[in-house]
A and B are shown apart, each in its own frame.
Chain A
Amino acid sequence: MSATPAFEPKIVAFVCNWCTYLGADLAGTNRLEYPANVRIIRLPCTGRIDFNLLIKAFEMKADAVLVSGCHPGDCHYTSGNYHARRRWMLFRELLAILGVDLDRIHFTWISAAEGKKWQQVITEITEKTREMGPYAYLSPARTATDEQWREEAVS
């Protein structure tokens, strides 16, 4: 009908190397189809997630971000996922203050055995984000003085 292409959300997934990454591998091995909108950034552990990374992703025009690691108790590094969760509790307010739409941040636990869950999660997030529409996040720091910043950074 319309010539305008449908909105294809960009989803950045920060996943741990030992559970969710392998879960996504399993989804592949089992040929479980899901939308092609997700881009995986492999980290050793969700404990490595720094919430600046999320902001960065939104600045880079991500429409949604997923953070996914091992189930509680299953962390390859014993407790990295707990640290991630704890920091998320601390930082979500801060992200809200920075104007990040928290509905666009998703947290899940997907184990190496849960290829099916990876498929479901990605499908759901893609659908949800498609409904929400494109996200134009501008960090408060960048809005007014983006140019200035860049100049400063260069110099």
Chain B
Amino acid sequence: MSRIGVFTCWCGENIARTVDVERVAEAVAQIPGVRCSVHNKYMCSDPGQTMIREKIASERLDVLVVASCSPHMHLKTFRKAAGQAGINPYLVEMSNIREHCSWVHHDKEKATEKAIQLIRLSVEKVRRNRALEPIKVPVTKRALVIGGGVAGIQAALDIADTGYEVVMVEREPSIGGKMAGLSETFPTLDCSQCILTPRMVEVGQHSRIRLYSYSEVESVDGYVGNFKVTIRQKARYVDIDKCTGCGECWNCCPLKKQLSEFDYGMGTRRAIYVPFPQAVPARPVIDKNACTKLKKGGCGLCEKKCLAKAINFKDQDKLVEELVGAIIVATGYQLYRVGQDQGKRKLSGYGEYGYGRYKDVIDSLQFERLVSASGPTGGVIKRPSDGVVPNTVVFISCVGSRDNAKGLSYCSKICCMYTAKHTMLYKHKVHEGQAHVFYMDIRAGGKNYDEFVRRAIEQDGARYHRGRVSKITEENGKLIVRGADTLAAVPLTIEADMVVLAAAMRPSDGAEELAQELGVGYDEFGFFSESHPKLRPVETNAAGVFICGACHAPKDIPEAVAQASAVAGKVQVMFGHDEMTREPEIASINEQTCAACFACVRTCPYHAIEKTEIRSPKGILVKRTARVNSGLCMGCGTCVSVCPSKSADLEGFSEQQIYSMIESLV
């Protein structure tokens, strides 16, 4: 029989105002097994914790219930206090009589009655708790970074510079991500490539970073500290070790008119190409959907020209395995494809803006390439249809963002800023030009951000109209933009030469599949979920998996970089230990009673249950059984509820405990 101590907290007035704490303590003292029932003004305070420690000693208590706030608030506090007094931390439970009782009820009688019941429930549970030890697992001190955009680069360099190895996987032929294609960045207007490319080179040359470009994560097995990652290296048809990057091949390729992905279709490339001159690795790739040799067996000119013999038309996808202890997801974003198929998520609409039909209606990333000095026009703003410099440009914000009907309900956060930047860059290049912006609200929170927007308006003369655009049509080479200026309360039609749509930020293609592979939560839009929005912003609910950058939510470069460094810090903390501990409240299988139906194996979301065989010393099969891998089990308990033979159980939430909790409610 346990000696149970119950400690009821007043939480100042917070609990005591509606719950008669003294009466609770008296009532609880009557429960069989309760040796000590006391109360204190602030149980979590130093005097409160001292009281707990003293009572443990004086009453020889061996299990505790603290009735105060939510266990999410202070369970760790009280378990630690109990641990210091020599009680196994897992023999402490909490009753939530604040959030679930005193704060939500006004009737003192009922609230007091409820508090007593809640404590009784915890008492019934705690007396069946078992002493547990945290699970220790070894740590492989290598990190995987998925995604080589600015966030991934920052995280990788920070971790590698601390002395740990990093494996980076980038889907595209070069790292650099979206930022590599940007022109100048707000609010300082510094050149994007100038600040990014040196970092890209660092990654490419770092002795502790192994870069897999043009590769994707195929599968992830294992658990925190011990992941086994399979990486698919897509056939590049160029041996990047032999290749010197001399450029003979892409200069001789006769297929000149391939639309460049890097330029978002605004420029062209060859069938063998380096996406952009500063690419890392600065090695070409062959577009198998364009190359004549790969499609029909002709040409082969590049192979003949290559002195390094690096071209390999027989190249195939390769799978490689890497062992890592932590995984960092930095898969970034893509733009809402205006008025076009958005893949699975049935986002449709914006037929009224004519994107895809009118050549001079472009999206914001395309505009970035138009103003970029390294872009297809050499930084001269020429509209796509006829190469004429546009005299009037309309910028439309919130395209897809904040549009529940045809798009996404959230704000993409950075569009207000880059649209202001676009108007400035445009004005700086086309002095006579007029920029119009249709906006709903200007969201320019951040250091020097609002000043930046005001500069666009006051100095560079961008005309801001508060209203959405309803329709764009094309008439005699002009785009007729029908909007409204709600501040002037007028409908407003502007004849523009070009229209730039600030399309919403969405997670990259494949983000959801990756989230599922990693066991990380994601929201309805496909953005990865953090473990706690305030206190664990870069961790996920899958231990050992971290997130940074726009895969988590729309964010700008400074924020993505800050998050990336935060992730690096978390990984360094993890790698600072040779072993790591995990919560021991996990499932177990009674192998004696297991009927080997393996329903648990099929339902376990973590693939943490394996089929095993018990053999006699002579190797004769005694029985087959399921077995929990304690490194993988996260303790959800799904196996317990599906087990027909009741052989599965969960520490901390055992069958016995839950049934006796229910029984205590009589």
- Where the two chains meet, the residues of A that have a C-beta atom closer than 8 Å to any C-beta of B are 10, 12, 18, 21-22, 24-25, 27-29, 31-36, 39-45, 47-50, 53, 56-57, 60-62, 73-80, 83-84, 87, 119
Which residue of chain A has its CB nearest to the CB of B114?
Answer: A36
Contacts of B650 in A (CB 8 A): 44, 48
Contacts of A74 in B (CB 8 A): 521, 523, 529
Contacts of B110 in A (CB 8 A): 36
Which residue of chain B has its CB nearest to the CB of A40?
Answer: B100
Interface residue from B72, B585, B605, B662 paired with A25 (Cβ < 8 Å): B72
Contact (Cβ within 8 A) A43 B99: no
Contact (Cβ within 8 A) B665 A60: yes
The interface size of chain B toward A, counting residues with CB under 8 Å, comes to 49
Contact (Cβ within 8 A) B653 A31: no
Contact (Cβ within 8 A) A39 B665: yes
Which residue of chain A has its CB nearest to the CB of B641?
Answer: A50
B169 to chain A, nearest CB (A): 22
Interface centre among A22, A60, A119 (most CB of B within 10 A): A60
Which residue of chain A has its CB nearest to the CB of B519?
Answer: A78
Which residue of chain B has its CB nearest to the CB of A33?
Answer: B104
B348 to chain A, nearest CB (A): 21
A20 to chain B, nearest CB (A): 11
**A150-B659 Cα distance, complex, nearest whole Å:** 16
10 interchain pairs (CB within 8 A)? A28-B99, A43-B653, A43-B658, A44-B650, A45-B636, A73-B522, A74-B529, A76-B541, A78-B519, A80-B637
Top 3 A-B pairs, shortest CB-CB distance: A28-B99, A48-B637, A47-B638
Contacts of B603 in A (CB 8 A): 47, 83
**A18-B133 Cα distance, complex, nearest whole Å:** 23
Interface residue from A31, A45, A49 paired with B104 (Cβ < 8 Å): A31
Contacts of B642 in A (CB 8 A): 83, 87
Report if A44-B637 is in contact (Cβ < 8 Å); known contacts: A28-B104, A74-B521: yes
B110 to chain A, nearest CB (A): 4
**A27-B516 Cα distance, complex, nearest whole Å:** 30
Contacts of A18 in B (CB 8 A): 541
Q: How many A-B residue pairs have CB under 8 A?
A: 133
**A75-B121 Cα distance, complex, nearest whole Å:** 26
Contact (Cβ within 8 A) A41 B99: no
- Contact flags (1/0) for B102-137 with A, using CB distance below 8 Å? 011111001101100110010000000000000000
**A34-B642 Cα distance, complex, nearest whole Å:** 34
**A80-B638 Cα distance, complex, nearest whole Å:** 6
Interface centre among B114, B118, B522, B665 (most CB of A within 10 A): B665
- Where the two chains meet, the residues of B that have a C-beta atom closer than 8 Å to any C-beta of A are 70-72, 96, 98-101, 103-107, 110-111, 113-114, 117-118, 121, 516, 519, 521-524, 529, 541, 585, 603, 605-606, 634-638, 640-642, 650, 653, 658-659, 661-663, 665-666
A88 to chain B, nearest CB (A): 11
Report if A79-B605 is in contact (Cβ < 8 Å); known contacts: A29-B99, A32-B104: yes
Contact (Cβ within 8 A) A44 B635: yes
**A50-B121 Cα distance, complex, nearest whole Å:** 19
Contact (Cβ within 8 A) B114 A39: yes
**A24-B105 Cα distance, complex, nearest whole Å:** 13
Interface centre among B99, B603, B634 (most CB of A within 10 A): B99
Contacts of B113 in A (CB 8 A): 36
Report if A57-B641 is in contact (Cβ < 8 Å); known contacts: A22-B72, A29-B103, A36-B105: no
Contacts of B111 in A (CB 8 A): 36
Contact (Cβ within 8 A) B638 A34: no
Contact (Cβ within 8 A) A47 B641: yes
A18 to chain B, nearest CB (A): 8
Which residue of chain B has its CB nearest to the CB of A62?
Answer: B665
Contacts of B71 in A (CB 8 A): 42
A7 to chain B, nearest CB (A): 14
Contact (Cβ within 8 A) A80 B522: no
**A24-B441 Cα distance, complex, nearest whole Å:** 33
Which residue of chain B has its CB nearest to the CB of A18?
Answer: B541
**A60-B120 Cα distance, complex, nearest whole Å:** 15
Contact (Cβ within 8 A) A73 B103: no
Which residue of chain A has its CB nearest to the CB of B14?
Answer: A28
**A114-B582 Cα distance, complex, nearest whole Å:** 29
Report if A48-B638 is in contact (Cβ < 8 Å); known contacts: A41-B661, A53-B658, A74-B529: yes
Report if A47-B636 is in contact (Cβ < 8 Å); known contacts: A41-B661, A60-B663, A73-B524: yes
**A49-B653 Cα distance, complex, nearest whole Å:** 11
Which residue of chain B has its CB nearest to the CB of A48?
Answer: B637
**A105-B478 Cα distance, complex, nearest whole Å:** 62
Contacts of A119 in B (CB 8 A): 104
Contact (Cβ within 8 A) B636 A39: no
Interface residue from A41, A48, A73 paired with B641 (Cβ < 8 Å): A48
Contact (Cβ within 8 A) A80 B605: yes
B307 to chain A, nearest CB (A): 52
**A29-B534 Cα distance, complex, nearest whole Å:** 16
